[in-house]
Structure 1
Amino acid sequence: MRHKSEAQSLLKKFFSFVQTQFESHIKNFRSDNGGEFISLRSFFQDRGVVFQHSCVYTPQQNGVVERKHRHILQVARALQFHAHLRTQFWGECALTAVHIINRLPSPVLSFKTPFELLYSKPPSFSHLRVFGCLAYATNS
């Protein structure tokens, strides 16, 4: 997403994706009172989604999201630091951090992984490689 104006169409696509791929419905949507979501009230009402929003300028009301965001950033920073990567690879660090976190067991989820709860099977680890290692392209 490059602009906030894209949020509405992307959110509608995400709702369809969840319904089609996981045969599930989103029940609650929590926002930080951003204007891009306020205009979606009728969309939420039509689908029976509870729309919750926090008070303006109170990030402490979004505690769960803020903690998860901090967790992702800390893992991404650790990957970047350990691999001695430049800032231009920050996006790859963040994506890799989320990928790893989704495959780690959590005590909050009864020591299951988010992947396992979503797909009803344990994740495979065979595709994982050392992050930030030196690699060469070949034409073999």
Structure 2
Amino acid sequence: MIRTQFDKKIKCLCSDNACELSLTEYLQTQGTLHQFSCVETPQQNSVVERKHQHILNIARALYFQSQVPNNFWSECVLTATYMMNRTPSPLLQNQSPYQMLYGRSVDYSSFRVFGCLAFASTLGSH
């Protein structure tokens, strides 16, 4: 999808030696470098572990602040990643990951307070 939808090439994929990620032959045909960490050593993949912790910290903040029921936890995580992908970063020259990928500015008009009251609307024919 990265190649067809965004005309980008994945240069390197980092993973552990988990059997579900045995893509080495395929990645070689695509010209992608596949780097491995040792099995069951998450400390070797510190970038992913820190990002995972960041996502969960934001999701917890959304969850506690909004006081939504437990079954909305997955929505907290999805909203956290949505927000993070649209937040400017100094590492990206004050652009967001969204801007870097799509090449256009972020539209913040759709942002709402997480857990706020919302009403669903259906078409008259439905």
**Structures share fold, TM-score greater than 0.5:** yes
Q: What is the distance in 1 between the residues matched to 2:19 and 2:96?
A: 34
1:133 counterpart (107, 116, 119)? 116
The RMSD of aligned alpha carbons is: 1.5
Quote how far apart the aligned CAs of 1:134 are: 2.3
Q: What is the distance in 1 between the residues matched to 2:42 and 2:12?
A: 18
1:19 aligns with 2:3: yes
Aligned to 1:14: none
Count of residues in correspondence between the two structures: 123
Q: Deviations over 1:20-42 (max 9, x none)?
A: 1111111111112111112x211
1:51 aligns with 2:34: yes
Q: What is the distance in 2 between the residues matched to 1:19 and 1:85?
A: 38
Aligned to 1:95: 78
TM-score normalised to structure 2 length: 0.90
1:36 aligns with 2:20: yes
Q: What are the equivalent positions in structure 2 for 1:98-117 lying under 5 Å apart?
A: 98-117=81-100
Q: 1:133 to 1:52 in 2, by over 3 A?
A: same
- Percent of residue pairs bearing the same amino acid type: 49
Q: What is the distance in 2 between the residues matched to 1:130 and 1:94?
A: 15
Q: What is the distance in 2 between the residues matched to 1:18 and 1:136?
A: 35
TM-score normalised to structure 1 length: 0.82
Q: Deviations over 1:96-130 (max 9, x none)?
A: 00000111111121211111111111100111111
Q: What is the distance in 2 between the residues matched to 1:82 and 1:138?
A: 26
Q: What is the distance in 2 between the residues matched to 1:128 and 1:115?
A: 15
